[in-house]
Structures are given as C-alpha cells and as structure tokens.
Amino acid sequence: MYIAQAYKGLSDSWRYVVGLIAIFFVWQFIGGIPLIIALLAKSDSLAVLGSGDMGVMADILGANNLLFFMLLTFVIGLIGLFAYVSIVHKQKITQLTTSRKKIDFKRVFFAFGIWALISTAFIFIDITLSPEDYEFNFNLGPFLVLAVIAVLMIPLQTSMEEYYMRGYMMQGLGILAQNRWVPLMVTSFLFGIMHIFNPEVAKLGYGILIFYIGTGFFLGILTLMDEGLELALGFHAANNLTAALLVTADWTAFQTNSLYRDISDPVLGWDVLVPVFVIYPILLYVFSKKYKWSNWKDRLTGDVPSKETFLALNNDNADVPNPS
C-alpha cells in the first residue's frame, strides 16, 4: 500500500507537522530569494512582486528569465523536500514515490505521452476553430531558450507539487487518519486552493477552481488506485510543459515565448468542465484497463493499517530506521 510506505521511515506525527511547514517555507520563501534578487537588480521597487503582475515582471526580466526564476523556486523546494524526508524521516525517495520496489518510469512516460497528445490536440483544435483568438508568436531564438528551460525544469516544478501534495502530505495524513479518503479529500481541495492566487483566478473568477480541485481529485485517485505517484508525475509534467510551449496569454501564470499567444477576452466556459467531468473519467477508465485496477472502494476510502500490522504483514521490520 502506497500510504503505508511511510511506516518504512520514521513516521511520528510531529515530523510531518514540522515537515509540512518547513518544506513550504523553503519552497515559497527561500526558493523565492533568487527571483527577488533578480527583480531588485532590474528595478528599484519590489511592488510589482507584491502585485503578482506577471506581465510587468516579464517586461522587467524577460519572459524566459522570469520563467526560469519562477521554476527555480520549485527546484529549491524539491531539494528541501527530499533532504527533509531523507534526514528527518530516514525514508527512501522510492518509498515516497511508489509502493513498488523501484520507480516505474514506464508509467511516468505513458501518462506523459497520453496527456501530451490529448492536450496538444485540444489546443490545436481550438486554434483551428477560433483562429481570431490567437496570434502566431514563434521566434526561433527565444523559443529555443524556452524549450531548454521548460524541458529541464517544468518536470521538476510539477514533481515538487506532486511529491508535496500527493506524496508527503498524502502519506502523512493517511497514517494519521488511518484511512484513505481523508488524505484524498484534503490534498485535492488544498491543491485547488493553492492556485487561488494564480492570475487565471483573478481573470476568470473563482469558478476556475472547479478545474484545479477536479484535477487534484483526478491526480489523487491516480495515486491511490495505482499505489504510487508515477502516473500523476507524468500527467502533471505533460500538462504544464505543453501549456508553456504552445500557448501563452497576458493573464496566465506562465508568461512564455510560446508558439501562440491567446489574445481573446477569456470567459469561464466548457473548457473548464469538460476535462474534469468527461476527459478525466475516460482517462481513469483507460488507466484502469491498462493496469488492471480493482477494488476501487477500498483503495479510495478504505482503512490504512497500523504500523505494527503493516510491518508484520510485509516482514519489513529490519528496514525501519531507529529513531536514535
């Protein structure tokens, strides 16, 4: 069981409480220092940072530089998360990632490939149906720089979110609540709320949170049904990478030198609801058939065994580190 992998490390409640706060601090505050320094070097005021105006920050730093420093906060956060898990919990990163003996990268690449194809298809269908809403934005030099930054760093950015929410937090809440539905509900709602300060929310309204919370539930279900993060890691990376490379807009969190620029006046519409209520259920069906998922109720809402029961059943007592 994926959640019970936490028992293979030091799983005291205080370690998770301190960890959630400490990792978040490293991610959001320590990780943001390079961006602050870069803005100070180019501007006399940090008021733009407080305003969250991505367009103005992109004008100051350049779109590619801004993207680099934004993604760097996640890279620093991921390093902090892995360090805390290894040092304080004495848990292997593999155990934070999956219930399998080793990380299944075939699952990562399968989820990445299927969602990259689907999301790219949706983008180009929309461009074909509404060409007046887009302008061709391709510029070879800046695009190549964008591609290098995006390919190298966006998977790390999305991995930080997955390891923090569907990994560390899900395991910690699961062994605390001794069930699966509490971590599924909490991490899914928190994942949505984490995006509340995105410029998309300011532009489209709080209704867009349906998409973010729905995506959180989808990724949480993937993790619990598949007993690991691999599918969620691949899906999330594909989602953000295709968005960064193909389409940008003045009102999105990613200001990039992408192929196209969305110049429409955005409204909250079907494109928010269709992925959550149509595409995600279809994908869950595809994944369930490929990986032969069963016993949905127990995997999503069932109990998490006690530490003693789990270790006895798995004969893993020798692998558990000594707190001293």
In tens, the pLDDT along 109-154 reads 999 999 999 999 999 999 999 999 999 999 999 999 999 999 999 9
3-class secondary structure, 135: strand
Q: H-helix or E-strand containing 134? A: strand 134-136
CA distance 311 to 276: 37
Q: Tell me the pLDDT of the chain (324 aa) as tens digits.
A: 899 999 999 999 999 999 999 999 999 999 999 998 998 888 776 676 666 677 778 888 899 999 999 999 999 999 999 999 999 999 999 999 999 999 999 999 999 999 999 999 999 999 999 999 999 999 999 999 999 999 999 999 999 999 999 999 999 999 999 999 999 999 999 999 999 988 888 888 899 999 999 999 999 999 999 999 999 999 999 999 999 999 998 888 888 999 999 998 888 878 788 999 999 999 999 999 999 999 999 999 999 999 988 888 877 555 667 665
> Which residues 6+ apart lie within 8 Å of 201 measured at CB?
195, 208, 209
First to last CA, the chain: 26
Q: Name the residue ranges covered by the structural domains of the chain.
A: 3-319
246-264, pLDDT tens digit by residue? Answer: 999 888 888 899 999 999 8
Spell out the long-range contacts of 151-156 with Cβ–Cβ below 8 A and sequence spacing 24 or more. 151/241, 153/68, 153/71, 153/72, 153/74, 153/75, 154/71, 154/237, 154/240, 154/241, 154/244, 155/233, 155/237, 155/241, 156/71, 156/74, 156/75, 156/78
| Rounded Cα–Cα distance for residues 173 and 169 (Å) | 6
Q: Is the dihedral of CA 106, 292, 234, 4 positive or negative?
A: negative
